[in-house]
């Protein structure tokens, strides 16, 4: 990995980047205050530190979708989360036809 001093990579943005690091919003440099040349590329792609989380999450969802990995709640998870509302609606709207099989008699 090609590493460079953080001051060289960040230039005039060094104080701002140090604030992000102190706030826990951006990863710290490696030992010796070294970072890769593209250290700020993700922040720049996101349009700023305030958009970084959404940018990374969006990239994750796109990548997960490309590989068929579930990213977030699927349809069944959505319905399970709606269970209280569905149960209330069903209680207020009895079925017009009983489709259940009769109970077995002993």
Would residue 100 count as lying in a domain?
no
- Distance between CA 86 and CA 9 in Å, rounded? 55
Would residue 101 count as lying in a domain?
no
Would residue 81 count as lying in a domain?
yes
Would residue 55 count as lying in a domain?
yes
Query: Would you give the DSSP letter of residue 48?
Result: S
Dump pLDDT digits (tens) for 80-104: 888 999 989 988 998 888 787 776 5
Would residue 97 count as lying in a domain?
no
**Residue ranges making up the domain that contains 10:** 3-92
Would residue 31 count as lying in a domain?
yes
Q: How far is CA 5 from CA 9, 27, 55, 95, in A?
A: 7, 15, 26, 70
Would residue 37 count as lying in a domain?
yes
Would residue 54 count as lying in a domain?
yes
Dump pLDDT digits (tens) for 69-78: 666 666 777 7
Q: Is the pTM of this model over 0.85?
A: no
> How many domains is the chain partitioned into structurally?
1
Q: Is 31 exposed, middle or buried (0-12, 13-18, 19+ CB in 10 A)?
A: exposed
Dump pLDDT digits (tens) for 21-48: 999 999 999 999 999 999 999 999 999 9
């Amino acid at each position: 990995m090609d590493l460079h001093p953080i001051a060289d990579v960040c230039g005039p943005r060094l104080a701002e980047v140090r604030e992000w690091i102190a706030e826990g919003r951006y990863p710290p440099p490696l030992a010796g205050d070294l970072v890769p040349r593209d250290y700020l590329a993700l922040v720049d792609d996101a349009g700023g530190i305030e958009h970084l989380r959404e940018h990374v999450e969006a990239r994750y969802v796109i990548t997960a979708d490309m590989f068929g990995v579930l990213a977030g709640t699927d349809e069944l998870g959505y319905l399970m989360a709606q269970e209280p509302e569905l149960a209330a609606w069903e209680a207020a709207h009895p079925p017009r036809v009983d489709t259940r099989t009769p109970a077995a008699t002993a």
